[in-house]
Structure 1
Amino acid sequence: MDAPVLSGRGLSRQFDLKGADAPLVAVREVSLEVAPGALTALVGPDGAGKTTLLRMAAGLMAPSAGSLTVLGIDVAARPQEVQDRISYMPQRFGLYEDLSVQENMDLYADLHGVPADVRRERFARLLHMTDLGSFTARPAGKLSGGMKQKLGLACTLVRSPELLLLDEPTVGVDPLSRRELWEIVQQLVDEEKLSVIVSTSYLDEAERCQQVFVMHEGRLMAQGAPAELRSRADGLCFTALPPEGEPARALQARLIDARDIVVDAVPEGGHVRFIRRADASDDALIRLLKGLPVKPVPARLEDGFMMLLRASPSSPDAKATPAGIATTGAGGVADSGGGGTAGGGAAKAGGGEAMIEVRDLVRKFGDFTAVANTSFSVARGEIFGLLGPNGAGKTTTFRMLCGLLPASSGFLQVAGVNLRNARAQARAKVGYVSQKFALYGNLTVAENLDFFGGAYGLRGKRLKERTSQVLEEFQLRGQEDQASGQLPGGFKQRLAMATSLLHEPEVLFLDEPTSGADPLARREFWRRITALAEQGVTVVVTTHFMEEAEYCDRIVIQDAGKVLAIGTPREVRTQAGGAGNMEDAFIAIVEKSREGGKP
C-alpha cells in the first residue's frame, strides 16, 4: 500500500490573541492519514480548523504540538523541502490584477523556476483546461470571479506538484464556473494521479471525494468515504410537499424549529427535504406535517454531516442555534420562532404594495453595457433573488438598487423614493450587507454597533435599546468587547446583519451573504430571513448557492446584462424544461442563452 501523502499525529495549533484571556486553539489533537492519488475533502463549520490544518501542511506555520509529515517529510523541520514539491491555493489567491492572464502565469513560472521548454507545454495544457486561451491578453482585474479562480488554479499549477492543497476554491463562484473548476481538478487526479486535499463548504463537492474528514472546533469528528458518512442518515431522509400557496421556506421554518422531531430541513425543488430524528415518534411527525404528502429519499453526504452536528440535544451546535430564533424586523415586532412565523407569508409575497420598482434600467460604463433594459418589481415582505454567472451584471444591478451607483437611464424607485433624484433619502430606508466583511475590524462589536447606529440617525435611549436587542437576537452578547476583525466568519456575518438592521429598514439588501458559510450557518441565516419577511421586511438577495433560490418568492436570472428568466422558483424550473433542482435549471437557462437560443 502506498505511503500517505499527509500524516498527522496529535496535531495541535494555538494562537495568542491580543487582549484575550486564553490562547485560541484552532486545531486540537488531530490524527489523520491522507491517501495518495485521490481527492480528499476537509469539511466542517466555520472556525473548525480547516484552513489552519492546510496552512500547516503547506509549511506556512508550525504545529504547537504533535507531528506532521507531508510526502514523508517532517514539515516543521523542513518546510522549504515540502513547498518545493507541493502547490497551495489559499482562499484569496494573489493575482496581480494589472497584469494580463499570460503575465500572471509567466510571473508564477518565474517564481517557481519553471524552465522555458517545460512551461510552453504546461501553459498550453492549463490554458486549454481552464478555457482561458482566448483571454491571455486580458488584465486579471477585468476577469469575472469564476475566471479569476481558474487563473489562480492555473498559476498554482504552473509547475507539476505531487500534492495540491485547495482552500475553499469555489467560494463566490457561480454554478457554471464551479462545475468547470471541478472538472479541471478531477482531470488532474484521473490523468496525472495528482493527490488533492480540498477544504470546502459545499457538501456536494465533498461527495466527489474518496475520503472526507469532518472537523468541528478544531477536532476531528468523523472520517471515511462519503458513503460511510451519509449512512448515518440512511432511512431518515424524506421530502414533504408544502400546502398549496405556501412557500417552501414556511414549511422549512416549521420543521427546522421542531428540534425534538426533525434534525434538519431545507427547501429543494419546490419540496422540503428533511431528516427526522431516529427517536422521534411517528405520531409526533404526523402531527407536525399535518397530513402533507411525504416520500422517502436516499441520504446524501450533507445529511450525514447534519446528523453529526445536530442529531442530539448535546450536539456541538446546541448552544449556537437554539430552537427559537428571535428576530426583530419592521416596527420592532419580535418573533420567537417555534414555527409561529410559518403561516401567511405567501399572501404578502408577490402582492400588495411594491417596495421596489425597476423599469427599463440601463447602466453603461463607457461603451460597455453592464445592465440592459431590466424591469421588475418587488412587493413588501417578498424575498427576491438576483442570480447570474460571475460578470452577469447582477452586482451592478444590486448597487443601483442600493443607491450606491447611479443608473444611466430608466426608472428606479425603492421604498417610495425615486433613486434618480433622492438616493440619500432612499438609503435611510434600506439595510445593506456586503459580500465582503465591510465593518471596521479594529473596532469592537459594541463600537461598530454604536458607530453604524449613529450613522443611521439613532441616538440616546433608542440606540441603546436597539443595540441591546440585536446583541440578543444575533447571539453576540458576551462579544461586545471583542475586536470585530478577530471574530470567526460566522460571527462577522451576524455582526454585519445586526448593524444593517439597527435602524429597522423597510428593505434589506444582501450581497452573497452566505458565501463561504457551512450548511449549519446557512440554515441559521435563512431562518432569520424567513422571520424578517414574515414581519414585512422586503429582502433582495444575490447568491451562488442555488438551493438558496428556493427560499425566494421570485427570482431573476441575468447574464451579459440581460434578464433571461424571471418568476417563482417553480416557474423558472419549468422554463428550464422541468429541471428537478434550481442548479440544473440555472445552468440550462444560461447555457441555452449563450448558445444563441431564446431562454
Structure 2
Amino acid sequence: MSAAATVVAEGLGRTFAAPGGSVLRAVDGLSFTVQAGALTALVGPDGAGKSTLMRMMAGLLRPDAGRLHVLGVDVVADPQAVQDRISYMPQRFGLYEDLSVQENLDLYADLHGVPARLRNERFARLLAMTDLASFAARPAGKLSGGMKQKLGLACTLVRSPDLLLLDEPSVGVDPLSRRDLWSIVQQLVDDEQLSVIVSTAYMDEAQRCANVLVMSGGRLLAEGTPAALRERARGLTFDVAPPAGVVARELQARLIDAQGLIVDAVPKGGAVRFIRQPDAPADQLAALLDGAVAEARPEELEDAFMMLLRQHEAAPPGTRAEAGAGDARPVEDAPVIVVRDLVRRFGDFTAVASTSFDVRRGEIFGLLGPNGAGKTTTFRMLCGLLPASGGHLEVAGLNLRHARAQARARIGYVAQKFSLYGNLSVRENLEFFGGAYGLRGHALRTRVEAVLAQFHLDPAASSGELPGGYKQRLAMAAGLLHEPEILFLDEPTSGIDPLARREFWRTITALARRGVTVVVTTHFMEEAEYCDRIAIQDAGRMLALGTPQEVRRQGGEAARDMDSAFIAIVEQGRRERQAARGVTP
C-alpha cells in the first residue's frame, strides 16, 4: 500500500437482509485509493451506498467482502485504532440541544479524551472559524440549521484527526451557511494538510475536490479529477432560450421527456441548459427545439454526473410517462393565497414581520431565505398549522383566522422532515393518511394504487428503512392522495441527489399544468428557476419578490446565477439592518 494513501479498498462489499428473504448489496465490489492531504468527494444517487461506505471507513460497520485499509490500518482487524485517528460527522450529528454551544464542545472533548491544556486554544480557534464565539452560551436547540451544522463540525474537530469523514454536511442549510462550511473545510485542508472525504448531493461542492468518486447501486461508476470527469460531456452541452410565451420549465419538461435525444435538462437563468445524447440526429433535435437556437456552453461536473447516472439507470423515472399528460392550464390572475401584513411573534421575538404577497392559481411560488429567516414559520401559518399574531391570511378563499380546518381539507403538505410512520409499510402509511383526508373504500384504494405507480414505490417496503429520496417520494405521495388544489412543499428535495430532484420537479411541473398551486421552500437555488415568482426573506422580513429574472437583477451585476443573487440580496439586507441599528459591519 502506498505511504501516501489514506484509504485503500479492494473488492469491498457489504450486504443487508432485505424484506422477503432477499439480499441488498449496498456496497458491491468497490476498489479505489484515496490520497492523503486532499479533499475527496463521494457522489451518487440515493441508495448508492455512500453512507454505508462512510460507516465502514469509520470502523462502525464491518465489511463482509474484500479488504479495507484506513490510515494504513486494517479496519476489520483493528477498528478502534482507526477510530482513534479519525473524526466522523454523520448526516444526523448528535448535538445535545439543551446544552450550550460551549457545553457541547466540552462534552465532545471529554468523550475524545482531549487534554485540558489543549482545549482553550482549540476551542477558541473552532469558535472563531465557525463564527460561533458570540453564541457560546446559547443552547444548541436555539441555533439555526446552518449554525447547528457548523457546531456539529466544530464538535467533530475538537481533536486534530488524521482523516475527516463528512457525510452530507451541508444538507438542509442555505447557500450562505454552505459557503461558510466549505470555507472551514478548505482552511483545514490548506493549513493542516488534513485528508477529508465528503459525501455530497451538491455538484458544485464536488467540483471543489481534488478527486471525485461516482457511485450508483453500490458500484463505482467512475473516478477522477473534476476536470477529467467533465471531459465525458465535452461537445454535448448547450443553452437554449424558450420561445416567446413559453416558460423555461415547460421547455425543460419537453426536452427531458425526449429520452432518445436528451440526457438531461434544467432551467437556469431564464434559459434551459441541456445535454444532448451523443448520437442524437440533428434533424430530430431541431424539431424538438421548434425553431429555438441552441448555443454551446462549457461542460460542468453535473453534466458528466447526469450522463453517468442516465447510462446506469435500472428503470425509467417513475413520473415521466404521466407528467406531461393533459393540457396546460394558464396561471389565473385571481389569487388563491392572500397575505397582508402577516406577523408572528414568539414572546418578545418576532419571527415574521409585516409580510405581504399573493399567490395565483396554478402558480409555482418559491419562498427562500437563510436558515432562521422565518420561512418555515410563514409556511406553517399558510398551512393553518400555526396561528398568526397579526395581519390577514386567506387560503383557497377562506380566512385562516376563522376557518383553518376547512382550509386544511383543500391543501396538501409535505413537511421538511420525514413525518410518516417508520414502523408501517409504504401501503399502510398511504392508507392511514388517505383515511385522515377522508378517503374511503374504492376511492381510497384507487388513489393509493395511483400514487404507488406514479412514484415507483414498493407497497410492502418498510417506510423507516427507505433511503432519503424514497422517503421524500412517499411523503409527496401521501400529500397528493386527496388531490389538493394547493400543495405546500417544505424543502421537499433536501438531501436527495440531482437525479431525484429532476423527477420531483417533473411532477411539480405537471401538477402546475393541471392548475394546482404550489408553494415551495428550498435551499437549492437552482430550484428557484422552476418558479413563476420567488420571495426572499431574512430575519422575518421580505427582501425580494418577483420573477427569477427580476430577483437576479436585484442581486446586481455580480449575480451570475440565483445562488450569487441570493447571497448578494441577503448580505445587503443585513448591512441595511446593521446600519439602521447604528452597528458597523
* Structures share fold, TM-score greater than 0.5: yes
- Kindly provide the CA deviation profile for residues 46-89 of structure 1, in whole angstroms up to 9, marking residues without a partner as x: 00000000000000011011110100001111111111100000
| Partner in structure 1 of residue 32 of structure 2 | 32
Residue 489 of structure 1: how far off its partner (Å) = 2.1
1:486-525 → structure 2 map (5 Å cutoff): 486-525=465-504
TM-score w.r.t. the length of structure 1 is 0.94
Is residue 447 of structure 2 the alignment partner of residue 446 of structure 1? no
CA contact (8 A) 1:201 1:517 kept: yes
Could you tell me which amino acid in structure 2 is paired with residue 317 of structure 1?
Answer: E
**Residues of 2 paired with 1:323 and 1:538: CA distance?**
19
C-alpha separation in 2, matches of 1:491 and 1:99: 33
Q: Distance in 1 between matches of 2:74 and 2:219?
A: 22
Given residue 15 of structure 1, which amino acid in structure 2 is its aligned partner?
Answer: F
Does the residue aligned with 2:201 lie in a helix, a strand or coil?
A: coil
Q: Is the 8 A contact 2:318 2:455 kept in 1?
A: no
1:321 is aligned to: 317
1:235-265: CA deviation from partner (whole Å, max 9, x where unpaired): 1101011123322111110110111111000
- SS state of the match for residue 576, structure 2? coil
Question: Equivalences for 1:62-211 in 2 at 5 Å?
Answer: 62-211=62-211
Q: Verify: 1:6 aligned to 2:7, yes or no.
A: yes
Counterpart Cα distance in 1 of 2:343 and 2:373: 14
Partner of 1:565: 544
For residues 38 and 350 of structure 2, the distance between their equivalents in structure 1, rounded to whole angstroms, comes to 44
| Equivalent in 566, 573, 586 of residue 566 of structure 2 | 586
Partner of 2:298: 298
Question: What SS does the aligned partner of 1:595 have?
Answer: helix
How many angstroms apart in 2 are the aligned matches of 1:256 and 1:271?
14
State the alpha-carbon separation in 2 of the partners of residues 272 and 446 from structure 1. Answer: 37
Distance 1:123 1:56 in 2: 29
Distance 1:572 1:501, change over 3 A: same
- 1:225-244 equivalences under 5 Å are 225-244=225-244
Q: What is the DSSP-based 3-state SS (H/G/I as helix, E as strand, rest coil) of the residue aligned with 1:410?
A: strand
Q: Report 1:359-438 matches (<5 A).
A: 359-438=340-419
Secondary structure at the aligned position of 1:503 is classed as coil
Say if 2:319 and 2:506, in contact at 8 Å, map to a contact too.
no
Q: In structure 1, give the amino acid aligned to 2:465.
A: Q
Measured after TM superposition, the shift of residue 195 of structure 1 is 0.1
TM-score by length of 2: 0.97
Cα distance in 2, alignment partners of residues 115 and 565 from structure 1 = 49
The count of corresponding residues between Structure 1 and Structure 2 is 577
Equivalent position amino acid for 1:226 in 2: P
- Cα deviation for residue 486 of structure 1 reads 1.8
Shift of the alpha carbon at 1:20? 2.9
Q: 1:556 aligns with which of 532, 535, 542?
A: 535
Q: 1:196 to 1:394 in 2, by over 3 A?
A: same
8 Å Cα contact 1:266/1:274 also seen in 2: yes
CA contact under 8 A between 1:576 and 1:585: conserved in structure 2? yes
Q: How far, CA to CA, are the matches of 1:87 and 1:218 in structure 2?
A: 24
Aligned counterparts of 1:322 and 1:407: Cα–Cα separation in 2: 39
Post-superposition Cα deviations, 1:272-311, rounded to whole Å, max 9, x if no partner, equal: 100011100111111111121321111110000111112x
2-structure distance, mates of 1:51, 1:475: 23
Q: Residues 325 and 527 of structure 1 are in contact (CA less than 8 Å); yes or no, is this contact kept in structure 2?
A: no
Mapped to 2, the partners of 1:364 and 1:42 lie a distance apart of: 42
Residues 369, 538 of structure 2: 8 Å contact kept: yes
Q: Give the Cα–Cα distance (whole angstroms) in 2 for the partners of residues 143 and 163 of structure 1.
A: 27
Secondary structure in structure 2 of the residue aligned to 1:556? strand
**Within 2, Cα distance between the matches of 1:497 and 1:432?**
8
Residue 511 of structure 2 corresponds to which residue in structure 1?
A: 532
Q: Which moved more, 1:143-152 or 1:281-290?
A: 281-290
Q: 2:352 touches 2:540 (CA, 8 Å); kept in 1? A: yes
1:48 alignment partner, SS class: coil
Conservation of the 8 A alpha-carbon contact between 1:258 and 1:323: no
Q: Are 1:13 and 1:26, in contact at CA under 8 Å, matched by a contact in 2?
A: yes
Residue 1 (structure 2) pairs with residue 20 (structure 1):
no
Native 8 Å contact 2:130 2:154 kept in 1: yes
Other structure's SS at 2:338 match: strand
Name the SS for the 2:542 alignment partner.
strand
Q: CA deviation at 1:316?
A: 2.5
> Any unmatched runs of 5+ in structure 2?
581-585
Q: Is the Cα–Cα contact under 8 Å of residues 265 and 275 in structure 1 kept in the other structure?
A: yes
**Aligned partners of 2:319 and 2:454 also within 8 Å:** no
Structure 1 gaps of 5+ residues are: 328-334
Q: Is the 8 A contact 1:384 1:553 kept in 2?
A: yes
Structure 2 counterpart of 1:235, which letter? G
- Could you tell me how far apart the structure 2 residues matched to 1:468 and 1:218 are? 30
1:357 is paired with a residue whose SS is: strand
Match of 1:331 in 2: none
CA distance in 2, matches of 1:45, 1:72: 29
Q: CA deviation at 1:439?
A: 0.8
- Amino acid aligned to 1:591: E
Provide closer, same or farther for how the CA distance between residues 595 and 2 of structure 1 changes in structure 2, counting only shifts above 3 A: farther
Q: d(CA) in 2 for partners of 1:322 and 1:24?
A: 21
Structure-2 separation of matches of 1:419 and 1:234: 53
In 1, Cα distance between equivalents of 2:313 and 2:469: 13
Shift of 1:514: 0.4
Q: What per-residue deviation string (whole Å, max 9, x for no partner) do you get for residues 165-194 of structure 1?
A: 000000001000000100000000001000
How far is 1:130 from its partner? 0.5
Please give the root-mean-square deviation of Cα atoms over the aligned residues, in Å: 1.4
Match in the other structure for 2:583: none
Structure 1 residue aligned with 2:555: 576
- Deviation string 1:550-596 (CA, Å, 9 cap, x unpaired) is 00000000000000000000000011114221001000000011112
The one of 523, 526, 538 equivalent to 1:547 is: 526
Q: Report if the CA contact (8 A) 1:257-1:323 is conserved.
A: no
Q: In structure 1, what residue type is equivalent to 2:502?
A: R
For the 8 Å contact 2:319–2:455, the answer to whether it is kept is: no
Which residue identity does 1:418 align to in structure 2?
Answer: N
Distance in 2 of aligned mates of 1:30 and 1:76:
16
The corresponding residue for 1:273 is: 273
Partner of 1:20, secondary structure, is: helix
